[in-house]
Structure 1
Amino acid sequence: MTQTPLLPSEEYIEQAFFFHSMREKIEDNAPLQDILQSVREEILATTKLPMAIDFLLAELRHLGLFHSAMQRLSHYFTPFQTFLIAAAEDDRGRFDFRVALEILKLEAEFRASESTTAAAMFVYQFEVLCRHRLKYDGGLEAMAGDPMYDENWRHFLQTLRRRIGMIDLADLIYVRSEYYVEQQSRRRNATLPEEPPIFGTREGRIALANRNKEPLLLFSALQRQLKYPSVPKPKKHVEADDLVHNLSQRMNAVELRLKLMEEDQKGGFDLSKFYSHPDDKDRPHGHRLAD
């Protein structure tokens, strides 16, 4: 995989504005082509983003998709950014495009910050995979191509990719933390890890406290204690079958009420036919009057 270079902070600031503006205009049901053309005029012309938007617009007109253009712009967009848009454009998935834009906006803001660390970025990206039920294999592979991570981090991500579901995430963080090295150093005849730590002391302590727990609890603790960025929550979906069923029930109730009103106006309103007659076993049970 081609390693995406780190961009100047002004590029990530404009990317955050781009993803935020797109999401806002999509809420107004504006056509995507019009959205891209409108946002392009607002982007800082001294960055490379306007040229990237031109390419996105051309690909949208040609294929009706974004992620293929982002993939070809691998020198500008990271593999994880492309992975999220591809997941949002997958008709078989349920990952909302607007949520993807919100995630990318926050991630771009985080990249532009001088206090950003590889550990915090990993936690943010991995929580996106967990919380939105995206494919771990493809997601971790995309993360490994992120310029935030050095060779030690890429090795860790590849290891996690092979062992996902087999070993607790908190354990993996703990044994690759400075806190684990400190603990081992205090023990007699303890073997120090061969691989260098990639997480700090505080991350290691929090991971140790969250062993054998849900990963989302670990993420929440890291956000509280270390001010790691929070991941936008998935939107609640209403199952289509449940929606149709509820609408059908409502229609039947309305139809029944209309029939009652019509019979009442004709003077033929008879409540008895809406109830069953237990004394008469040969008669079919009637319908109970709707509330």
Structure 2
Amino acid sequence: MTQTPLLPSEEYIEQSFFFQSLREKIEDNAPLQDILQSVREEILATTKLPMAIDFLLAELRHLGLFNSAMRRLSHYFAPYQTFLIAAAEDDRGRFDFRVALEVLKLEAEFRAAEKTTPAAMFVYQFEVLCRHRLKYDGGLAAMAGDPMYDENWRHFLESLRRRIGMIDLADLIYVRSEYYIEQQSRRRNGTMPDEPPIFGTREGRIALANRNKDPLLLFSALQRQLKYPSVPKPKKHVEAEDLIHNLAQRVNTLESRLKLIEEDQKGGFDLSKFYSHPDDEDKPNGHRLAD
């Protein structure tokens, strides 16, 4: 995987504004192409984002999707950003596009911040996978290509990708923390790890306190104690609206079928009325069912 370069902070600031504007304007049910053109005029012209939007707009007109264009713009959009949009555009998934934009907006803000650490970015990105039930394999592979992470982090992400579901996440964080090294150095027969720590002392302490617990409790503790960013939660009302719409469609279908059954039982249902007579074929308004 080609390593995406780390962009200047002004690019991420404009990306955050871009994702937020998309999120807000989509609520007005405006055509997506019109939204892109409108938002493009608001973006800072000294950044590369307007050119990226032009490419997104062209790809949207051609294929009707964003993720294929973002994948081709791998020098600008991080693989994880593309992964989220692809998951939102997957018809078989349940990851809402509006939620994806909200996640990306906050993530871009986080990228623009001067004090952002790889540990905090990892927790944010991984919690998104957990909360929204996205594919861990594809998500972790995308994270490994993120410019936020150095070689030590990429080895950790690849290891986590292979062992996901086999070992507790809190254990993985604890043994790769400075706190674990401190604990081992105090023990008479303590064994030092072969790999350098990538989490700090406080992350290690919090991870140790959350062993064998729900990972969401670990994320919550890190957010409380270390001010890590919170992940947007799944929109339950969106799922409820979709469920109501689907149920209404099924009720209407059942009502139509019941009417046909009732007419058939009463002897009043005649299929012949749906067919045209041979004499009608020569008439301008004559139709046949087979047509």
Q: 1:214 to 1:38 in 2, by over 3 A?
A: same
Alignment deviations for residues 91-127 of structure 1 (CA, whole Å, 9 cap, x no partner):
0001000000000000000000001000000000000
List aligned pairs for 1:198-213, cutoff 5 A.
198-213=198-213
Residues 1:185 and 2:185 are matched in the alignment: yes
Alignment partners' CA distance in 2, 1:217 and 1:138: 24
List aligned pairs for 1:205-284, cutoff 5 A.
205-236=205-236, 237-238=239-240, 240=243, 244=247, 248=251
Residues 1:81 and 2:81 are matched in the alignment: yes
Partner of 1:48: 48
Deviation at 1:235, TM superposition (A): 1.1
Deviation at 1:191, TM superposition (A): 1.1
TM-score (norm 1): 0.84
SS at 2:193's partner residue? coil
The letter of the residue matching 1:207 is A
SS at 2:171's partner residue? helix
List aligned pairs for 1:128-139, cutoff 5 A.
128-139=128-139
List aligned pairs for 1:93-104, cutoff 5 A.
93-104=93-104
Alignment partners' CA distance in 1, 2:187 and 2:144: 34
> Which residues of structure 1 form unaligned runs of 5+?
253-291
Alignment partners' CA distance in 2, 1:137 and 1:247: 36
Alignment partners' CA distance in 1, 2:47 and 2:244: 47
Alignment deviations for residues 24-47 of structure 1 (CA, whole Å, 9 cap, x no partner):
000010100000000000000000
Alignment partners' CA distance in 2, 1:158 and 1:137: 9
SS at 1:191's partner residue? coil
TM-score (norm 2): 0.84
Alignment partners' CA distance in 1, 2:22 and 2:78: 18
Identity rate, percent? 86
Alignment deviations for residues 48-102 of structure 1 (CA, whole Å, 9 cap, x no partner):
0000000000000000000000000000000000000000000000100000000
Stretch of structure 1 that moved more, 159-168 or 235-244:
235-244
Alignment deviations for residues 253-282 of structure 1 (CA, whole Å, 9 cap, x no partner):
xxxxxxxxxxxxxxxxxxxxxxxxxxxxxx
Alignment partners' CA distance in 2, 1:20 and 1:241: 28
Partner of 2:140: 140
Deviation at 1:205, TM superposition (A): 0.2
